Structures are given as C-alpha cells and as structure tokens.
C-alpha cells in the first residue's frame, strides 16, 4: 500500500520542515509530494533539502502562485504516476494534525473517500473566532441545502481518496482554483456515487505563517455552489463505471 500526501505550499517556511519530519516519523509508509508555487520565503528550497535526506519526500516546483485547485490537480497526476494507492490532501500548517492519518488510512480500504470532518461527533475547531466559525459551518450547511450533498464538512481540505477515484474524475471540468475546489470535488464525488466516510478531527488554526483565507475566496465558493447542479446536470453515477 502506497499512500501519497499531496501538499500544496506557498510561504510555509515556518512549518514545512517540522511537518515533513513529523510525517516521516510516522510508521505508515507515507510518501510526501509537495507542490510549491515558487514561494518567495524559500519553502521550495527547504523541501529540496529534505528530499535529499528522505527518499519518500518529493517536490514539484511551479513558476508562481496559481491556486489551490490547480496545485491539487497537478499533484494528483504526479501521485498517480508514482504508483499511489491512496492520495491524501493535507495542509502544511498543522491545522490538519498528522495524528489523524492512522485513522484515515485504517478506514480507507473500506471507503472510496475518507474526510477529516470538523462537524461530526467528536470533531471541532480550536482558536477560531466566531465569524470564522459561522462562515465555515454556514458554508457547509449552504452547500448541503443547495446541492443535496450529505457530507457534514464539505469544505474540509483533509481527505483521502482511493487512487481509482482520482482516475475516474474528469478534473478538466473542476474549475474552482481556491478553497472552492474542495466543495466542487465533494459534489462531484457525491454525484458519481462514491462511498464517502467522515472521521472526526479537531482543526486547530495555524500557529505559524499567514492564513490564505480571504473574503474573495469565500464569495468565490458561494458563487460556485449556486451553479453546481446546472454545471454537472449531465453527470450521473454511470459516468464513472
């Protein structure tokens, strides 16, 4: 079993080395694939050095910041080329605690997609202000109401896909480039009939570095959700059979 973590980065110098060494210290057979968008703080150079030390660390350098969605699409393609059996989405800033990876991979053989969820029993957030809590939880409720998606945490960026799931998705149709990418991917996985399972996680706000969240990203996601049913009205479960 080869689980590959795809980790987009932009200015994660404060977190990158600690995260990489934490992941390499886990007895889970992980490979780490970092997609760095030419971070001006030198994140890419840190990963290059780590890749010389660890055979299981790899880095793809992109010429500039091009959005989370495009980073993941590129990373998924590279991970499949590496022979990944499971492809994990994960942030570098420790908001996604590596301790949950064991539970995620334990559940993965029995489900197509495993989501690290803040909004199922046992999940939650820490160090969040009230406005961010409202935006995040409200965004998931808004998505469920408008699309019929049953997931409780549609915006979670901590998730594990079987490689066959990634192969069956037409990523050329997924247009979201920011955090809306997770919402669109959740919807596509749902309408294609994949088995989606949520495990509880506690999401802690980053301690180092700057958040990439902005009002523009929130509004992009809201506009995206409103058009998802129309955009994918031709897609059914038989599309991936």
**pLDDT at position 137:** 75
140 pLDDT more than 50: yes
Q: Across the chain, what does the average pLDDT equal?
A: 90
Q: What confidence tens digit (pLDDT) does each residue in 82-111 have?
A: 999 999 999 999 999 999 999 999 999 999
| 3-234 topology per CATH | Spore Coat Polysaccharide Biosynthesis Protein SpsA; Chain A (3.90.550)
Distance set, CA 16 to CA 21, 46, 69, 139 (Å): 9, 7, 20, 29
The domain ranges of the chain are 3-234
Instruction: Name every residue whose Cβ is closer than 8 Å to that of residue 77 and which is 6 or more positions away in sequence.
Output: none
**pLDDT at position 5:** 98
131 or 74: which leads in pLDDT: 74
Provide the whole-model pTM.
Answer: 0.91
Q: How do 57-61 and 31-36 pair as beta strands? A: parallel
**pLDDT at position 179:** 73
**pLDDT at position 238:** 56
DSSP secondary structure, the chain, as one string? --EEEEEEESS-HHHHHHHHHHHHTSSS--EEEEEE---TTSHHHHHHHHHHH-TTEEEEE-SS---HHHHHHHHHHHHHHTT-SEEEE--SSSSS-GGGHHHHHHHGGG-SEEEEESSSTT-EEES--HHHHHHHHHHHHHHHHHH----S-TT---EEEEHHHHHHS-GGG----STHHHHHHHHHHHHTT--EEEEE-EEE--SSS-----HHHHHHHHHHHHTHHHHTTT--GGGG-
**pLDDT at position 209:** 46
């Amino acid at each position: 079993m080869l689980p590959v973590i795809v980790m987009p980065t932009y200015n994660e110098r404060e977190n990158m080395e600690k995260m990489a060494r934490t992941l390499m210290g886990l007895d889970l057979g992980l490979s780490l694939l970092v997609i760095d968008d030419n971070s001006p703080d030198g994140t890419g150079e840190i990963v290059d050095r780590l890749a010389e030390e660890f055979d299981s660390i790899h880095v793809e350098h992109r010429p500039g910041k091009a959005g989370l969605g495009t980073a993941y699409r590129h990373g998924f393609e590279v991970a499949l080329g590496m022979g990944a059996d499971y492809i994990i989405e994960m942030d570098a800033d420790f908001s996604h605690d590596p301790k949950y990876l064991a539970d995620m991979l334990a559940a993965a053989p029995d489900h197509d997609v495993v989501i690290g969820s803040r909004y199922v029993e046992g999940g939650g957030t820490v160090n969040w202000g009230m406005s961010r809590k409202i935006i995040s939880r409200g965004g998931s409720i808004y998505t469920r109401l408008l699309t019929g998606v049953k997931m409780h945490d549609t915006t979670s960026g901590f998730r594990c896909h079987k490689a066959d799931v990634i192969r069956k998705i037409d990523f050329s149709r997924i247009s979201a480039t920011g955090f809306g990418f997770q919402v669109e991917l959740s919807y596509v996985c749902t309408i294609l009939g994949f088995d989606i399972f949520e495990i509880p996680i506690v999401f802690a706000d980053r301690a180092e570095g700057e958040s990439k969240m902005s009002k523009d990203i929130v509004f992009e996601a809201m506009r995206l959700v409103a058009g998802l049913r129309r955009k994918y009205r031709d897609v059914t479960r038989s599309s991936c059979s």
